Amino acid sequence: MQKNIFIVYAHPEPRSLNGALKDFAVNHLTDAGHNVEVSDLYGMGWRAEADGRDFPERDPHERLIYHSESKNAFLSDTQAPEIKEEQEKLRWMDAIIIQCPMWWYSMPAILKGWVERVYARRFAYGVGYHGYERFGEGNLKGKRALLSITVGPEAEHYSERGVHGNMDDLLFPITHGILYYPGMDVLPPFVLYRAAALTPDGFGDVTNDYGKRLDGLFTDAPIPFRPQNGGDYDEQFRLKPGLSKGKSGFSIHRSD
């Protein structure tokens, strides 16, 4: 079945490994009959700073309270046009793919700035009568998300006892805090380790694996994050006693 897929790509060099993975995904998904839209943040000259320029009709003499202005501009349709365009892509899509390198244990700043500016209040958060339709609910519920990320060191460095910390924990702010928060079903990330050591001969094996993940974009099981309003949390949004026994840290918010 034909689907709409939105790729948000963040790397300053089009000839990079991330660029090649983005191009592969576009071709693979298009060949499969899907519609694909790409936001190349560096190519677009995306402005990372979230500031008053995002609200062209606000009074510049008033103190800027970003989340309040974000809500007002979204509801009055007075956001900066580039923000509205990205939001329309999020509405249009059936799935999003985030393609980027891991830099300093997180996403590139330009991509973080995309999230901060595009995720307007009442669009991606502050949704619902009490503003608490999140983590499994929200305006992006029913859509799917896949994080495709390249990493320098080898996988063992990101294992349970690895020096960099567990990869699932490092990516939790993205998978749970950015993608699951507004309601998307988040697939296990596609992580390419030892990216700098990859040779042209090895790229075929990588794309073979990545192609399988792309083929499963709408059929693979998502990460079993606990929905906020599914009964596992109390009125203070704390996990109820007796759940996730023997676990600690971010893993308690998974139901597997």
Q: 235 with 209, same domain? A: no
Phi, psi (rounded to 5 degrees) for 28: -65, -45
Q: 196 with 253, same domain? A: no
Contact between 225 and 174 (Cβ < 8 Å)? no
How does pLDDT run across 159-213, given as a tens digit for each residue? 888 899 899 999 999 999 999 999 999 999 999 999 888 888 899 999 999 999 9
**pLDDT above 90 for 250:** yes
Per-residue pLDDT, averaged over 30-37, amounts to: 98
Q: 185 with 199, same domain? A: yes
**pLDDT above 90 for 44:** yes
Token pair 């790729």 in the structure block, residue: 7
Q: What pLDDT does residue 50 have?
A: 97
Residue, of 128 and 208, whose pLDDT is higher: 208
Cβ partners under 8 Å of residue 134, min gap 6? 125, 127, 181, 182, 183, 228
Q: 215 with 244, same domain? A: no
How far lies 222's CA from each of 75, 180, 182, 192, in Å?
32, 10, 15, 19
Q: 85 with 175, same domain? A: yes
Which contiguous run of DSSP H or E holds residue 129?
A: none
Q: 90 with 144, same domain? A: yes
Q: 241 with 177, same domain? A: no
Per-residue pLDDT, averaged over 82-105, amounts to: 97
Tokens representing 47? Answer: 């402005």
How does pLDDT run across 143-156, given as a tens digit for each residue? 999 999 999 988 88
Query: What CATH number has the domain bearing residue 49?
Result: 3.40.50.360
Q: 183 with 231, same domain? A: no
Per-residue pLDDT, averaged over 33-48, amounts to: 98
Nearest to 219 by CA among 37, 1, 49: 1
Q: If you compute the radius of gyration of the chain from its CA atoms, what whole number of angstroms results?
A: 19
Q: 163 with 245, same domain? A: no
Which sequence positions are flagged as catalytic?
A: 152, 158, 164
Q: 138 with 234, same domain? A: no
**pLDDT above 80 for 129:** no
Number of domains comprising the chain: 2
63-68-253-194 Cα dihedral, nearest 10 degrees: -60
Q: What is the mean pLDDT of the chain?
A: 95
How does pLDDT run across 217-235, given as a tens digit for each residue? 999 999 999 999 999 999 9
Q: 76 with 59, same domain? A: yes
Q: 219 with 245, same domain? A: no
How does pLDDT run across 235-247, given as a tens digit for each residue? 999 999 999 988 8
Q: What pLDDT does residue 180 have?
A: 98
Nearest to 40 by CA among 17, 7, 16: 7
Q: What pLDDT does residue 256 have?
A: 85
Provide the residue range defining the domain that includes 182. Answer: 4-224
How far lies 141's CA from each of 91, 184, 225, in Å?
10, 5, 13
Nearest to 154 by CA among 145, 146, 164: 164
Per-residue pLDDT, averaged over 7-29, amounts to: 97
Helical residues (DSSP H) of the chain, grouped into ranges: 17-31, 41-44, 66-76, 81-92, 109-118, 167-174, 200-215
Per-residue pLDDT, averaged over 23-45, amounts to: 98
